Amino acid sequence: MQPRRVVVTGLGALTPLGNSVDAYWHGLTNGVSGADFIKQFDASKFKTRFACELKDFDPANYMDKKDARKMDPFTQTAVIASDQAVLDAKIDRNTINVDRVGVIWGTGVGGMINFCNELQEFAQGDGTPRFSPFLIPRLILDIAAGHISIRNGFRGPNFSVVSACASATNAIIDAMYHIRWGKADMVVTGGSENIINQACVGGFNAMKALSERNDDPKTASRPFDMDRDGFVMGEGAGALIVESLEHAQARGAHIYAELVGGGATADAYHLTAPHPEGLGAKNVMTQALNDAGLNADDIDYINVHGTSTPLGDVAEVKAIQQVFGDAAYKLNISSTKSMTGHLLGAAGAVEAIAAIQSIIHGIVPPTINHFTDDPQLDPKLNFTFNKAQQREVRAALSNTFGFGGHNASVIFKKFVP
């Protein structure tokens, strides 16, 4: 059979810049930083005391309180973002075959907040095991996909993808393949992550992965800046409705963009550090271009992984220059993590939405917090520093790389009927 074209028809987002796609995009294009001092716990004794938390977020504003109590925050945000996307796509369950609608979701860590809370309560007790019956259903990483399917009655392929910070991008790629090869007509996909708690902040601090710029949190995420000192944790969720072109047209859906290619590779190098020459990143972008049937000069914008770590940013730029050659100088490159922080397993989803929005609006969001050029990076590259830029974006590539050497890239293209 001929592979089917795959299109995006619905979007949903909860991010540190706002609790909707419009609020998120407004924050990105205006160069707003989502970083501030942590409010979810007392971080005064931690090396890093700030993060990019959700603002004005109360799950009770979106769902029944009884339902919310059954979910860890990573599931709450997954359900809410997917609700937004389902509504945006105008899905009528009475007119589609729900047996061919899947949910493929990504998360890197899963229900860590409730898990840590339960263990802390147990440790402070008398040793009697008084655990919630929802401990395990809140914890397991597949449960967000389960909740989304139950809530909507979608009975197609249903599973979660775990590849650290590449999780949501891998989920989107799996969704694309399921539709491309006729295993489903429509998939709710994306990712969520909510792990801003003592264990995770402390754990990343112990690895020396986080910025410790406590004197100025809003400028702490500095991708490609010479003084970058680590990433800033973020939280939230992004959801996309992807479906076959035929299915979308048959139900009269609005099409945002076409999902044309993806790639997945491994560095096979180190548990946490990227390959210094960007070998895995080079291979994954090449694979995505080949899968999409595009040449390097067909891409106008790369939403880079760009975490603001000393090693990672340099390796990714080396990979871009190897893949794109002279075409690299015609690209816009930007790291939206400079504003949202790093949403870990959800990063690929919210950054895919940024890439899609750049195609729709002809605007490339900036890399904010740039103060000093890094002599390791080619100054002739356009990193879209500090201010959004207008340009036609025919196709956009989004990179996400995870601990363990996981690399994933997706390409979205302006839809042409």
Looking at residue 415, its pLDDT comes to 98
SS3 of residue 62 by DSSP:
coil
Residue 224 has a CB neighbour count (10 Å cut-off) of 26
- Tokens representing 364 are 């490339």
Q: What is the fold, at CATH topology level, of the domain defined by 7-250?
A: Peroxisomal Thiolase; Chain A, domain 1 (3.40.47)
SS3 of residue 116 by DSSP:
helix
Q: Could you report the per-residue pLDDT of 20-62, keeping only the tens digit for each? A: 999 999 999 999 999 999 999 999 999 999 999 999 999 999 9
Residues annotated as catalytic (active site), given as ranges? 165
**Region class of 164: left (phi > 0), else alpha (psi between -120 and 50), else beta:** left
From 57, 62, 61, 16, select the one nearest 35 (Cα to Cα): 16
Give, for 38, the enclosing helix (H) or strand (E): none
Q: What is the fold, at CATH topology level, of the domain defined by 262-413?
A: Peroxisomal Thiolase; Chain A, domain 1 (3.40.47)
- Tokens representing 117 are 């809370």
Looking at residue 126, its pLDDT comes to 86
From 411, 377, 347, 363, select the one nearest 167 (Cα to Cα): 347
Q: Could you report the per-residue pLDDT of 342-382, keeping only the tens digit for each? A: 999 999 999 999 999 999 999 999 999 999 999 999 999 99
Q: Which residues of the chain have pLDDT under 50?
A: none
**Domains 7-250 and 262-413 belong to one CATH topology:** yes
Looking at residue 1, its pLDDT comes to 73
Instruction: Give CA–CA dist 231/51, Å, rounded.
Output: 9
Indicate the domain borders of the chain.
7-250, 262-413
